[in-house]
Amino acid sequence: MSETRRVGVAVDFSACSRVALKWAIDNVLRKGDHLILVNILPEGREEGTEIQLWEVTGSPLIPLAEFRDPNNVAKKYGTKPDAETLEIVSSAATKKEVEVLMKIFWGDAREKLCEAVDSIPLDCLIVGNRGLGKLKRAILGSVSNYVVNHSSCPVTVVKQVDG
């Protein structure tokens, strides 16, 4: 009856991804869930490191205690969580009684977010929306739109409201 859910949130440590993260914590997370931050980095930056081993499958699931140290996680995985995101997830871990983990993938964000859904696997995914204009969206493509249309789990897109 109380099966552990895996709630994924795409994070790039921007204001937009923090809005999506806060929304997920306030509206989706329940006690006992696993909150999994999915971080996508450009591929092929580091040669001869552990990162090369993980480029195909993504990093192992990294517990909050390990990625709370931004310098350690920057050196080992090539990403650096910002202080505000760390504060948000640390608070959620305590107040909501959830386990917070992070998984890093390298490559195209659209493809890797869909891959994360299946490989972790996730019960749902929450992504932010940068609010690109129609022209930029047509040229660059929308990560959130792609994931909504290609993911094998429910996806919620959280728009950042200016104000």
Beta strands (DSSP E) in 19-84 are: 34-41, 62-63
Query: Is residue 152 scored above 90 in pLDDT?
Result: yes
Tell me the per-residue pLDDT of 74-89, one tens digit each, with 9 for 90 and over: 888 888 899 999 999 9
CATH class of 6-159: alpha beta
Sketch the domain layout of the chain as residue ranges: 6-159
70 CB burial (10 A radius; 0-12, 13-18, 19+) = middle
Q: From CA 13, how far away is CA 21, in angstroms rounded?
A: 10
**pLDDT score for 51:** 63
Output the six-digit token pair for 95. 């107040």
Cα separation, 107 vs 69, whole angstroms: 24
- Identify the pLDDT of residue 140: 46
State the pLDDT at residue 83: 94
- pLDDT for the residue numbered 162: 62
Mean pLDDT of 22-35: 97
